[in-house]
A and B are shown apart, each in its own frame.
Chain A
């Protein structure tokens, strides 16, 4: 059984650019959530997808968007990057059987 994987590991972008982060869910999981973790802070919920539909969103602007694919992998897209978007972006997957959330190692995004 493979765990949650994310790519890339690190990424450097400049202000105004767009970025796409990717996540592969743990085998058998059909729900995925994305979190943003600024340095020294706890993870903050961005949004959640279940069966390719967004079913929950945190306090993030529309330039943060996502996709979930039929194989339950997922993408996080961020447009018009700002310096404050520099953070560790975490993907977590789960199943509907209540076994909890399993987090990936994250993607470290730096915006210059």
Chain B
């Protein structure tokens, strides 16, 4: 599975847009990019998933350039409740594989929202 690199930590103020970039130079053709959020003493929670270009849902946007060697998770107008660790995962997590393949987590990005 492709290795991912993310910043260890980030700080942002409430109300701002936060962008977390993940590098995955060795991404394979059948790999998808999936982001999870984890609050302290809780399990990770799925945020968003994409293959190329842009994906948007009610929580976040995911931007993936044409070469797919990186991706950016964008959180609009963050609040204190967005303080969490965010994980970028790369793997064949799509269709029936998303719930069959093991997930490979890195160390994630610890996002702290400042009032």
Contact = CB atoms under 8 A, between A and B. Distances in A.
A20 to B, nearest CB: 19
Interface stretch (B20-28, B52-60, B65-73, B105-113): B105-113
Interface of B: 41-46, 87, 93-100, 102-108
Interface of A: 4, 31, 33, 35, 40-45, 48, 50, 56, 58, 88, 90-92, 94-101, 103-106, 108
A95 B97 CA distance: 10
Which of B44, B99, B100 is the most central at the interface, judged by chain A CB atoms within 10 Å of its CB? Answer: B99
6 contacts: A42-B108, A45-B103, A92-B103, A96-B100, A99-B99, A100-B98
A97 B105 contact: no
Contact of B102 (A4, A56, A104): A56
